[in-house]
Every structure is written in structure tokens, then in C-alpha cells.
Structure 1
Amino acid sequence: MTAPDGDRSARYTRDELIAELGLSPEYAEKVWNAFGFARRSTPDKIFTDDDLTALRLFADSESTMPQDAQVATARAIGQTMARLADWQADQLRELDRNPDVPWTIGQMSAALGQIQQLIWRRHLALALEHGVEHDSDERLDLVVGFADIVGYTSLSRRIALDELEALLESFEEDTFDIVTANGGHVVKTLGDAVMFTCHDPAAAAAIAVALHALSESERIPPLRVGLARGRVLSRLGDVFGEPVNIAARLAGSARPGTTLVDEAMSDGVTDERYYLKSVPTLSVRGYKRLKARALELNRHFDDGQIGGPVDGEPSIDVGPQ
């Protein structure tokens, strides 16, 4: 097996590129490490004139983007690309071992690079065209959701690695389809968990219900979902803030097959397809008295009996699993 073909138009080593850009060696090393290449220097010529032009635009932006922001941007790009490259390398090695595949690794990697450019350009165009306007400090009013697989740790010890891989792949694919189909955005997947955001509380409720429906088959174990609404900081493709913390705590406190929501989220759910059950006040890390409610489909909706639980219906029990 051979490595992907090198770029014959490469003209610069890393040190030559740094000199052309006029960067200090210390700052260049910091950016290089942020891209994910710590202690991986090479004397080979690996940079082209196009690379130089693009990196010069990045390096010359200090007047509008401080160096710490440049390093943070480099880190976000590096982490994303490293994860993608690791997965692609596994796929390419598997294809290379298949005698029925007629292409070399170099040909396949070149095709992947072209496809990535195509898909990235399209996603960027859509984001610029349909992105929601927000304040200059990138603070947004969103619903943040967490969904995780109940009993994943013990399950991962009992099943074979190929079964575990199939489970995680199915979970990631299905949750991505559900979130995006309902107007949400998958922020990240964490193996047995997914974090997503949504602008509309009703759409977030629909996502939660649909996620639980995945467990009706034997492919996906029961899930727990937490939803919290509020102002978050959007930074480098991730979101931060109290709603993120609360959503995670709610998911961790939910019983299998249930969704817990905070007060702000419950106030935003006015759709008659759902009702909200009272639950005991939660005591979780960082929140000694966290008020929450359990969101469920309104089982009387189809019968024309719109409303919440019938009189006298008990609250559900909640607690960590």
C-alpha cells in the first residue's frame, strides 16, 4: 500500500513558508500546533503558491482577528479535519485491501478532496444565505438538546466491537437525520450521545419524540433526552452557556425513554400535540433545585381531547440511572 501522491506543485517547506509570511517562529509554531501537527515538522516541500496566498490572508488578518482568535480558529479546523482524516484513512485502507477496487489510494484521496470541497462550498453557501442573524457577540436564543443511550457503558462491555460500531453508526446516522429534518442542527456527537440546537421549541419537542421512537426497534437501546432554552454563545461551531449545562443535567436525570425540559423550554411549548408533566425538583451537579418537567406526546390529541394529563394523574419519577 502506498501513501497518497504528493502535490507536484509544492514549492515551500514549512520554514520557507513561515519566512514568506513574515511570521515569528514562536507564533508560527503555535498555529502549526493548533492545526494538530505538534512535533511533526518536516523538511519536505509541502506548500504550494495557493497555500501561501490563503495563509497570507489568514496571517494578515490580525487587525480584525487577534492572534488568540486565529489560534482558536486553527484549532477548530485542525480538530475537525483530524477526525475526518482518521475516519477516511480507515476507509481508504479497507478499500485498498479489496481486490475488486480498481483505484489507488492516491486516486481515491484526490476524489475525496474534491468531494469535500464541493460539499463544504455548498454548506457554506447555504449557511450564508439562510443563517440566522445574531448579535455581534454571537449570542443566540436557542434550545439546546442532549440525547444519550441508556446503559451504554455496560452495553459496550457485553457486545462485540463490530456490533458496537454498528450501533454507534446507526445512532449517529439516525439522530442526524431526525435533527436536520426538523430544522435543528447537530453540534457534535459524543459516541453514545448527541448534542443539537434548535430555534423553535416545538421543533425541538418533535425531535425529542422522534429520537425516542428510534428505540421501538431493536437497533437502538432506550434514550434519555434533555432540552433547555436560553442565550448561548456560539463559537467555532460549538455552543456554550447555561442552557448547555442544564440540558446535559436534564438528560442525565431522565428515566429511559423520557425527555426532561427546563422552565424556559416548557414555556415555549404551546403546540397542542405535547403536554408537560410535573416532576420533583432535581438536585444535580451545579443546580441544587433545578425545576423541570417531562415532555410527552399528548395522547388525547387524536381524540380531540386537547390538554395535559387527566386530573389526578401522578407525576413521573426521575433520577439518575
Structure 2
Amino acid sequence: MSDVPLEYSRDELIAALQLDPAYARRFWNAFGFAQGADGDGQRFSKADLAALSVFAGNDQAMDSTAQLAAARAIGQATARLAQWQAEEITRLAADPNVEATTEQMVEALARVQDMVWRRHLAAGLTDAGRDSEHTEVVVGFADIVGYTSMSRRLGMTELESLLETFESAAHAIITGHGGQIIKTIGDAVMFTVSDPTAAAEIAIDLHGLTADGELPSLRIGMARGDVLMRMGDAFGEPVNIAARLASSARSTTTLIDDDLASALRDLEPLHVSPISSLSVRGYRKLRAFKLVRDRNWKR
């Protein structure tokens, strides 16, 4: 592990940042760290202090709302990643065929994580320089049909294998068509893609995953429009509509909104057909369309 001197307790770090104690508790909690009366026992270096001072503690730092939002985004994403890493390291440490020590695996993961993060960050900065936070995209949700009842029948190992297969295959398809996975929510994946035709191909290829029976059937909803991209997440009416369409879709079916249907209507061999208006939460008469690869396709 690192030999960098750890010179500050948490309370000393907060004092050096000149943070109000009440605000410091909110800031610390936003990272996902509970703050007891005697601190959490962690120690920090001068480099830690310098890094945190970019976000908090001086007049040049970002405002408090942005500070807390950044802390929450970092804390939530990192906590999930660290939990998975801890489970994997524990599993590998118990494997007699793995020669690396726990300390070596932690160091290796830290370096790999930094390498991957920097590549994604560079790509993100390029995209951010090209687009504003408000951008027109297609938002999609793909759900596993019958997941709740399935989770009651399957053992934990089988369930883990199912979700890993689904997430891995969905990631390959979505990114392969130029899309971006926003988040996975257990039995569902949320994604965005700028090109409507690519969105249609993603939906068709995702349904193709279930053809050999390796995965259960999916239902997909997609909507096109302006969204707010913030902290790695997407917000706006297309997100709400896509989620409602996915929930309303039948097994093996893709439902899309009016805007996306207009963009795809004349693109062969894709076929778009209207269905009855949907009455869903927030929308009494939501126009919806069924998307298939061609008009002769039956399921």
C-alpha cells in the first residue's frame, strides 16, 4: 500500500478546509460516510487535503449545491464499485490457485481502476465540450419479463449468473451501437443513444438475446427528446415516457413514442405501427407505437 504520510484526522481535515461543522457533516455524509462523535478513524494526507480543497473550503471552490451533488455522485458510484471489488477480492483470496495477496490485488485494482477511469473521463470531456447538458437523445429501458417471480424460484448463484449474463450482453450491444448505459436497476437497464436508427437496432438485438433461451424475454420502451444529462444520469420527459412504455410493453415487444416513431417511420426494413393510447401514471392518453424489424415479423 501507499507510504504517503497520513497527517490529518477527519476533524483536522475539516478544520484545514475551513468548513462549517454542520455543513461538513452533510458533505461527509454525501460521500456515504457516517460521522460518529469520535470520527471514523481514517487518516488523510496533504494530497487528500489539496484534492478536497478544489471542491470545498475556499472562495474559488464550486458552490455548496454542486459540492454536495458531486459528493453524492462520487459516493454512490464508488460505494457500489467498492462493494463488488471487496466481494471479488475476498473470493479470490480464498482460492488456493490465486497466488496474489489481498494487498497486491487491492493495489492492482486501484491501478486498473485509475487507468479505466482516465480513459472514460477523457472521452467524457470530449463529449462535454461538444454537447451541452441539454441534448436530444433516445432514452431506452429494457426489462426482464417476470423477474420478480423468477427471483423467488432461482437460487442466489443462478440469479447472479442471470443478471451478469444480461448486463454483460446488454452492455456489448448498447455500446456496440454507439449508445451509453446510464444505469442498471436489477432486472432492467437504462440507456441513451443519439441516433434513432441505432436505437432501433439496439432494441432488435436485445430481443435477439432471448432467442436461444439463455435469457428470459425482454420488454423495451424508448422515447426521443431533450433530456438533462447530469452527474452521469438522464432526466426529463423522455426518461419518464420510456419507463412507462417499457412497463406497458408485452413480452418480446418494443414500444416507442411518437417522436421516435416519426424518425423511424420510413426506414426500411423497420416497421412502426400504432397501438391504442396508453393510460399510465402521469399520462392519460400516451401515444405509443410498436417497433419491429419488418411488417411481416410475427411473435
Please tell me the TM-score bracket, short chain as reference: over 0.9
Aligned to 1:184: 179
- Pick from 125, 129, 132 the counterpart of residue 128 of structure 1: 125
Is contact 1:260–1:295 with CA below 8 Å preserved after alignment? yes
For 1:214 and 1:185, the matched residues in 2 are separated by 18
- Pick from 69, 72, 78 the counterpart of residue 72 of structure 1: 69
Amino acid at match of 2:278: L
- Pick from 135, 139, 145 the counterpart of residue 140 of structure 1: 135
Is contact 2:55–2:61 with CA below 8 Å preserved after alignment? no
For 2:55 and 2:79, the matched residues in 1 are separated by 20
Aligned to 1:105: 102
For 1:119 and 1:287, the matched residues in 2 are separated by 41
Is contact 2:279–2:285 with CA below 8 Å preserved after alignment? yes
- Pick from 39, 54, 61 the counterpart of residue 51 of structure 2: 54
Residues 240 and 62 of structure 1: is their aligned pair in 2 closer, same or farther, counting only changes over 3 Å? farther
Tell me, yes or no, if structure 1 residue 289 matches structure 2 residue 294. Answer: no
- Pick from 245, 261, 274 the counterpart of residue 266 of structure 1: 261
For 2:134 and 2:40, the matched residues in 1 are separated by 43
Residues 132 and 176 of structure 1: is their aligned pair in 2 closer, same or farther, counting only changes over 3 Å? farther
For 2:179 and 2:20, the matched residues in 1 are separated by 42
How far is the alpha carbon of 1:133 from its aligned partner? Answer: 2.6
Normalising to structure 1: TM-score of the pair? 0.88
Aligned to 1:304: none
Is contact 1:10–1:45 with CA below 8 Å preserved after alignment? no
Aligned to 1:306: none
Residues 70 and 265 of structure 1: is their aligned pair in 2 closer, same or farther, counting only changes over 3 Å? same
Is contact 1:276–1:294 with CA below 8 Å preserved after alignment? yes
Greater alpha carbon shift after TM alignment, 34-43 vs 279-288: 34-43
Is contact 2:224–2:260 with CA below 8 Å preserved after alignment? yes
Residues 189 and 132 of structure 1: is their aligned pair in 2 closer, same or farther, counting only changes over 3 Å? farther
Aligned to 1:239: 234
Tell me, yes or no, if structure 1 residue 16 matches structure 2 residue 17. Answer: no
Aligned to 2:275: 279
Is contact 1:145–1:197 with CA below 8 Å preserved after alignment? yes
Tell me, yes or no, if structure 1 residue 203 matches structure 2 residue 198. Answer: yes
Greater alpha carbon shift after TM alignment, 93-102 vs 200-209: 93-102
Q: What SS is found at the alignment partner of 1:298?
A: coil
Is contact 1:7–1:46 with CA below 8 Å preserved after alignment? no
Which consecutive unaligned segments of at least 5 residues does structure 1 have? 301-308, 317-321
Number of residue pairs the alignment of both structures matches: 297
How far is the alpha carbon of 1:231 from its aligned partner? Answer: 1.0
How far is the alpha carbon of 1:52 from its aligned partner? Answer: 0.9
Residues 77 and 45 of structure 1: is their aligned pair in 2 closer, same or farther, counting only changes over 3 Å? closer
RMSD: 2.0
Deviation digits for residues 107-126 of structure 1 (CA, Å, limit 9, x no counterpart): 11111111111110111112
Q: What SS is found at the alignment partner of 1:260?
A: strand
Q: In percent, how many aligned pairs have the same letter?
A: 50
How far is the alpha carbon of 1:151 from its aligned partner? Answer: 0.5
How far is the alpha carbon of 1:129 from its aligned partner? Answer: 2.7
For 1:107 and 1:172, the matched residues in 2 are separated by 28
For 1:181 and 1:61, the matched residues in 2 are separated by 43
Amino acid at match of 1:275: H
Tell me, yes or no, if structure 1 residue 118 matches structure 2 residue 115. Answer: yes
Q: What SS is found at the alignment partner of 2:130?
A: coil
Deviation digits for residues 145-171 of structure 1 (CA, Å, limit 9, x no counterpart): 000000000111111111111000000
For 2:86 and 2:40, the matched residues in 1 are separated by 23
- Pick from 144, 151, 155 the counterpart of residue 156 of structure 1: 151
Aligned to 2:225: 230
Q: What SS is found at the alignment partner of 1:272?
A: coil
Deviation digits for residues 58-108 of structure 1 (CA, Å, limit 9, x no counterpart): 115665632011101100000000000000000010011112222221111
For 2:39 and 2:3, the matched residues in 1 are separated by 15
Residues 62 and 242 of structure 1: is their aligned pair in 2 closer, same or farther, counting only changes over 3 Å? farther
